[in-house]
Structure 1
Amino acid sequence: MSQHISAVALVVPDYDAGIAFYVGKLGFELIEDTQLSTTKRWVLIAPKGAQTRLLLAQADGPEQSAAIGHQTGGRVGFFLHTDDFVADHARMLSAGVHFEEAPRHEPYGSVAVFQDPFGNRWDLLQLKR
């Protein structure tokens, strides 16, 4: 038996704002954008070639809106692996992605923390081989 995590929900204030950042600035692929009702869509995005996807979930009500950007309690909760840290970091900077720190080199690899426009913290990460 084989299993994998197919998607992780990420609460955003607006579907189109999420697509604009993740697809427009980070270069993720828009896998699916299906209208489910007048207020709900099924929006799947992923880095090119990735098996696990993000399901963008537009906040519905004050409780969900309050969770935007705080879904992992202020910790880095998302990890974007790359095989070309220098190029991806430079591309993301030029696209206006906000990095909290300069790149640093740890025993496990190169890393820099960035934020999406909603407050979620991410690691851009290239592991040592």
Structure 2
Amino acid sequence: MSHLGLVTIVVRDYDEAISFYVGALDFELREDTRLDERKRWVVVAPRGARETGVLLARAANARQKARVGEQTGGRVGLFLYTEDFDYDYTRMTARGVTFLEAPREERYGKVAVFEDLYGNRWDLIQPYHDVVRS
């Protein structure tokens, strides 16, 4: 059996990224290991997540710096699943997370698009468990 272990997000600064993901999104810091004088291995993940985490990778050159916040060309590229949409939406809003729309009901669940501190777009989504995916 396979699973997706990590997804990379290119960031400007390790510490500001940790502050946002841990402070505003309530992720847990799973690892922060210094690899050399400039590079760290920083992994965050939603609390309780068992498989996939987010590797925060500091942009190291001009090409990478140009991609910060634009990794998916302005599309939603990350999906944060929740079991209590209203609680997480309220908590995240109170912590300064920018939502680009009001929560909406879709066939598959309750959802709203938000941006991380760099402008990457995420869906906060509480899926309806009775929806059959095909």
Distance 2:90 2:57 in 1: 29
Distance 1:90 1:24 in 2: 14
Distance 2:32 2:73 in 1: 28
Distance 2:74 2:112 in 1: 16
Residue 32 of structure 1 corresponds to 31
Residue 14 of structure 1 corresponds to 13
Distance 2:20 2:127 in 1: 25
Distance 1:119 1:65 in 2: 13
Secondary structure of the 2:48 match is: coil
State the superposition RMSD in angstroms: 0.6
Secondary structure of the 2:64 match is: helix
Residue 75 of structure 1 corresponds to 75
Unaligned 5+ segments in structure 1 are none
Moved segments of 4+, more than 4 Å: none
Same amino acid, percent of matched pairs: 57
Distance 1:106 1:24 in 2: 29
TM-score (norm 1): 0.98
Unaligned 5+ segments in structure 2 are 130-134
1:1-129 aligned at under 5 Å gives the runs: 2-50=1-49, 51-129=51-129
- Displacement of 1:105 in angstroms is 0.4
Secondary structure of the 1:9 match is: strand
Distance 2:98 2:74 in 1: 16
Distance 1:85 1:125 in 2: 7
TM-score (norm 2): 0.94
Distance 2:44 2:64 in 1: 20
Secondary structure of the 1:101 match is: coil
Give the length in aligned residue pairs: 128
